[in-house]
A and B are shown apart, each in its own frame.
Chain A
Amino acid sequence: MAKGPYSDKVMDHFMNPRNMGEISDANGIGEVGNPACGDVMKIFLKINDDQVCEDVKFKTFGCGAAIASSSMATELMIGKKVEELLALTNQAIVDALDGLPPAKIHCSVMAEEAIEEALKNYFKSKGQDPAIVDEMKAKIKKEN
């Protein structure tokens, strides 16, 4: 069959999304929307006392690239520490998906932003200042 605009990995995650759904007792929830296309992504996190991501689920209203990006992101997140989650860039998601068409890169950015929002929500629920997420992100960016 002729290949479509998406890689096999994208198609696989689109057809069989991993970790799709919600976590009822999540301690970090992040939702972001993309004003350009009206798409919305929501991430549910369960971070344990050792600051490790024990469980993650997503819900996405979006294109094939957005669904695949969220699915792939959750796979890359499970078992990772909070700092590692923050270090997860959209580029890493794109690479793990064997690439996205240029016009669809923004869909993976939405995944990175949703993780960020979810972590802010997590710190807030623990009574900490969510701004710590921005600081940590800035630090990680500097180090790279």
Chain B
Amino acid sequence: MIYLDNVAGTKPDARVVEKMLPFYTEHYGNPSAHFYPIGREAFEAMEAARGEVASFINAKAEEIVFTSCGTESNNLAVKGFLKNPKNSGKHIIISEIEHFSVDTTVTKLINDGYQITKLKVDDSGLVNPDDLKKAIRKDTALVSIQHTNPEIGTIQYTDKLGAVCREAGVTFHVDAVAAAGFSELDVKALNCDMLSIASQNFYGPRGAAALYIRDGVKVSGLMDGGHQERGYRSGTENVPAIVGMGEAARIAKAEMGVWVPELVRLQKQLWDGLGGMFDFLHFTGNKDRRRPGHVSFWIEYIEGESLLMWLSLKGFACASGSACSSNILADDEEDLAASYVLTAVGVPSDICAGSLGMSMSKYNTQDDIDNVLKVMPETVQRLCEMSPMYNRK
């Protein structure tokens, strides 16, 4: 199988897995148990991982809070920040293409008396920093705008958005889950106060993620208990996964310079190849500011799920932004709404059904891309023949 759904999670690096294993078999102590060796070993390894993650994003170790996943980091950033009595203001600004874990979280806060502004994006998915400036009010408590959109690959002008927030004195959270390992992340250059990353998106294991909280920013924990992670997140730490995340951060910092240019090269090939194939294929997202190795598009006359299924039968694992498949295990069709991200960038909602995403990792090769480009014409042709819309051309 050729794996092209790396926004959904990458294959862990073998060095990461190797580094994790002893923390299941030997150093299985609880890091809160400081008075015997296996507890202390676990603690020290966790703190070393914290250092690696911090240095990966140019932060200090004490600014890193480990969580279990990107969703938890985003929840902690938004709700934990608003929960802290030091922070006031009842207005929150996000973009209209945030991940569910920000969008849903913020939308639910309306019930608690918060007002939400969802900034519009242009047809390539970009938020205009001037729009942000205009949207900030006296009572704006928090701005949360993602760095990279997983569905359409667009990379925001995060540093500029951050500068606007700094100037206005508003706290700025960045969901960088789809960016880590693919774009350089420097919390200082990005002018952010909080930043979420998840280990599984940069060749680390599932089950470990982090929230950067800039020194001085006040956030309250969402879980009560034994005061782990300095109270930001009570609960026994997932030491093996955290150790794995540290190793993944170390590797990414050292080796991104090698794999990113290669991903950019392969992406260009895939983009140009697909673009030249059909005049009824439309790319989504920004061509220049996009996640390395990420190509997303929709095809007229063809529905996304059928394309996804055919590609899967031919051995390619891709992502669909399709209404029809995104929530196939849902209880009813109400949950099959068209992707709000695609609607936001102006793709007609009856067509959003056709969207497909291919996102590469450092493990993808030239052969993989050649193969995709080889099977696409026959697959698309087959589905076109089946489509009642195709002949109307």
Contact = CB atoms under 8 A, between A and B. Distances in A.
A60 B389 CA distance: 9
Nearest to A5: B328
Given A60-B387, A61-B388, A103-B331, 13 more contacts: A38-B353, A42-B388, A59-B386, A60-B386, A63-B324, A63-B353, A64-B306, A64-B309, A64-B325, A102-B332, A103-B333, A104-B328, A106-B333
A103 B387 contact: no
A105 B333 contact: yes
Contacts of B303: 39, 61-63, 66
Contact of B336 (A20, A36, A60): A36
Given A17-B386, A38-B338, A61 B302 contact: yes
A101 B83 CA distance: 40
Interface residues of B, number: 33
Interface string A92-111: 00000000011111100000
A31 B351 contact: no
A140 interface: no
Interface of B: prevailing SS:
loop
Interface string A43-79: 0000000000000000111111111000000000000
Interface residues of A, number: 31
Contacts of A66: 303, 324
B327 interface: yes
Contacts of B337: 36
A40 B389 contact: yes
Nearest to A106: B333
A118 interface: no
A20 B386 contact: yes
A14 interface: yes
Contacts of A38: 323, 338, 349-353
Contact of A103 (B332, B351, B352): B332
B258 interface: no
A26 B252 CA distance: 62
A13 to B, nearest CB: 12
Closest 9 CB pairs of A and B: A38-B350, A63-B324, A59-B388, A63-B305, A42-B388, A103-B330, A61-B387, A106-B333, A5-B328
